[in-house]
Structure 1
Amino acid sequence: MRLVRNLIGTPEGAIGLGILVLLALVAIFAPVLSPGDPLRIAARPLLAPFTDPSFPLGTDRLGRDVLAGIIHGTRTSLAVGIAAALAAIAIGLCVGLTAGFAGGLVDEALMRVVDAFQIVPSFLLALAFVSVIGASVPVVVIAIALGAWADPARLTRAQVLSIRERDYVASARVIGMHPVEIALREILPNALPPVLALSAIIVAAAILTEAALSFLGLGDPNVVTWGSMIAEGRNVLRSSPSLSVFPGIALVVTVVAVYLFSEGLTKTIGRGRLVA
């Protein structure tokens, strides 16, 4: 795709995309890179890193392989981040497109709902939702999406309000095209690029939110996550800081890569290069 070539043409996009591709490969091939259950006890507890070739990053307090946890945690973090971003973008597009295209009372009502969700900090909303419903990966995804859909909705509405007054939209009305068809075929494709640029930021925020929830013990206990690994390591932070440092580095690298990818995508879109 031309978009990928143009994205690689920016330093931020190239670096971010390269790291994300590597992380995606690690997530996809996690069962091959680290077979078995990453939560199983594999060796003696608190094995220091770089002392045993079988466990390059050592083991935690229970004797679980730290490297296996980081590898399988990559799959959880990326899956939650991407799923939450897709859900938030889908909800935001539907609400923003409806509000901007319909106008009037529908617009006012939907925007007041958006305002209500934006008043509450997204992390507090996710925290309350998971605390009430219960901790599991689908619940965490829904909780993060509930706190993230308002920004795409407002951005989509702003784009639709600008686009719906253009000549080609007026021409579509004149020839008798159905309003739903106008919204989906004429307006939505042109309102989408800025929202796509925002999606990368939502992914990064979702990964951080999932890690924070896991750190607080509100993640799925049956799934290894970087946040739960950092939380596990804080109990022995002075004697074995690597238990928190290694998953923390993985988390930082992932979030930075997503932000770099977002910067490259924004520059590409800003130059009018969003061509499939």
Structure 2
Amino acid sequence: MSVLQRLLRSPEGAIGLAILCLLAATAMSAGAFFPRDPLSIVGPALVPPFSDMAFPLGTDRLGRDVLAELVHGSRASLMVGIAAAAVALVVGALVGTLAGFAGGLIDEALMRIVDAFQVVPAFLLALAFVSVAGASLPVVVLAIALGAWTAPARLARAEVLSIRERDYVAAARVIGMRPLEIALREVLPNALAPVLALSSVIVASSVLIEAALSFLGLSDPNIVTWGSMIAEGRNVLRSAPFLSIVPGIALMLTVLGVYLFSEGLGQALAGRKART
């Protein structure tokens, strides 16, 4: 039985995969269904949900379509989550591999850098970085990755420590491969599997951190995000709570889908490993 079949047989994996597929399809089709700028004013202000079929989820304080903002906001959430996870995994895997394979002073120095980054909570680190560097999408991605790369680095180092003394690594040394070449071509690919398992957790936390930064106004004002939508609804929470509730539900479902998918994928991979 393939990993995909095992994933779909798991309730967590099937539900998580369905949520993520729906989110991805929504993000990719945002321009087709809502070609107009989601920040443009299209109707009267504060139209309640389901009261006007032209605006199924209502409008905000400025008369902008909440559904259009929600759909376009999914793009930003996915983009930030996947990009931050990719940067964190690449940097963490490289640092962990170099530290574990080199050992000695290099290992000690790199691990002390990892410790220094781990001391500061990820959100506070992102908050400080964005406050200094300015609010833009690339800066937000880099800020989130700064607090997320340490876990992949530690896991990659642990894997490399168990791999570097194996026979194929010794054979690579015998045939004259350079240490850096051995680390990147022979050791790193075999240490990646457990590191990649962290990707779903990093994506979920990245989405939450981006939403928190947007809520505080530390995001690109020209891009719709779910966090900025929640912040926009904060000022009229008593009279129009749907402005914060709708993006809040979308955010909750996204994180839930990522975690369920991670659980199902873990079970599928564990079942495959047990059979082999």
8 A Cα contact 2:226 2:247, kept in partner: yes
Distance 1:13 1:178 in 2: 42
| Closer/same/farther in 2, CA of residues 71 and 199 from structure 1, 3 Å limit | same
Matched position secondary structure for 1:148: coil
Matched, 1:116 2:142: no
8 A Cα contact 1:194 1:269, kept in partner: no
CA shift, 1:182, in A, is 2.5
1:69-218 to 2 correspondences below 5 Å: 69-218=69-218
Distance 1:179 1:133 in 2: 37
CA shift, 1:127, in A, is 0.2
Distance 2:28 2:151 in 1: 30
Distance 1:104 1:156 in 2: 17
Provide Cα deviations, 1:63-118, integer angstroms capped at 9, x if missing partner.
01000010000000000000000000010011001000111100000000000000
Percent of aligned pairs with the same amino acid = 69
Distance 1:146 1:91 in 2: 9
Partner of 1:66: 66
Query: What one-letter code is carried by the residue in structure 2 that aligns with 1:80?
Result: V
Provide Cα deviations, 1:1-24, integer angstroms capped at 9, x if missing partner.
944334323222221111111111
Query: What one-letter code is carried by the residue in structure 1 that aligns with 2:263?
Result: E
1:236-247 to 2 correspondences below 5 Å: 236-247=236-247
8 A Cα contact 1:73 1:225, kept in partner: yes
Distance 2:156 2:84 in 1: 18
8 A Cα contact 1:114 1:150, kept in partner: yes
TM norm structure 2: 0.95
Give 5+ residue unaligned stretches, structure 1. none
Distance 2:8 2:161 in 1: 32
Partner of 1:43: 43
8 A Cα contact 2:3 2:272, kept in partner: no
Matched position secondary structure for 2:126: helix
Partner of 1:9: 9
Matched position secondary structure for 2:176: coil
Partner of 1:23: 23
Give 5+ residue unaligned stretches, structure 2. none
| Closer/same/farther in 2, CA of residues 214 and 223 from structure 1, 3 Å limit | same
Deviation larger for 173-182 or 58-67 = 173-182
Distance 1:272 1:175 in 2: 34
CA shift, 1:171, in A, is 3.1
Deviation larger for 115-124 or 180-189 = 180-189
Matched, 1:228 2:219: no
Matched position secondary structure for 2:147: helix
Provide Cα deviations, 1:110-161, integer angstroms capped at 9, x if missing partner.
0000000000001000000000111010110010001111111011001100
Distance 1:264 1:96 in 2: 27
Partner of 1:248: 248
Distance 1:2 1:178 in 2: 37
CA shift, 1:219, in A, is 1.0
Distance 1:273 1:81 in 2: 28
CA shift, 1:186, in A, is 2.6
Matched position secondary structure for 2:197: helix
Pairs aligned (count): 274
8 A Cα contact 2:85 2:202, kept in partner: yes
8 A Cα contact 1:97 1:188, kept in partner: yes
Distance 1:189 1:56 in 2: 48
| Closer/same/farther in 2, CA of residues 186 and 10 from structure 1, 3 Å limit | farther
Superposed CA RMSD: 1.7
CA shift, 1:55, in A, is 0.2
Query: What one-letter code is carried by the residue in structure 1 that aligns with 2:146?
Result: L
Distance 2:9 2:196 in 1: 18
Partner of 1:261: 261
